[in-house]
Amino acid sequence: MRRLGMKGLGMKGLGMKGALTGSLILMLAAAGCATSGDVSAARAESKEALRVAQDANEKATAAAADAAAARAAADAAAEEARKASEKADRIFQRTLHK
């Protein structure tokens, strides 16, 4: 079974800000001479995109924690099942020797 780590799940804040800033600059350069209204609108969209990305990162972190807890519970259940199976085998072996 392959384990998923946190690497690749979340987005780094600085990387996301850099990407958003870069896309904002490219968008403004492509538009030519932007008005202050255009810049304000682009900033607002950029802030919203950053908020959505941060929200997704928080949800991914929570999901990874839930997955780790589920894995620990599954491991504990597997150990209990192994012990129960060994006990049943010992009981069965005793009945064979009687």
Higher confidence at residue 52 or residue 14?
A: 52
Residue 38 is encoded by which pair of tokens? 């255009």
Span 20-32, pLDDT tens digits? 777 777 766 666 6
**Can you tell me the distance from the alpha carbon of 2 to that of 8, in angstroms, rounded to the nearest whole number?**
15
Is-contact 4 64, C-beta < 8 A? yes
User: Considering the entire predicted model, what is its pTM?
Assistant: 0.49
- Write down the H helix ranges in the chain: 13-31, 36-97
| Domain spans in the chain, listed from the N-terminal domain onward | 13-97
Q: How far is CA 95 from the centre of its chain?
A: 51
Span 75-85, pLDDT tens digits? 999 999 999 99
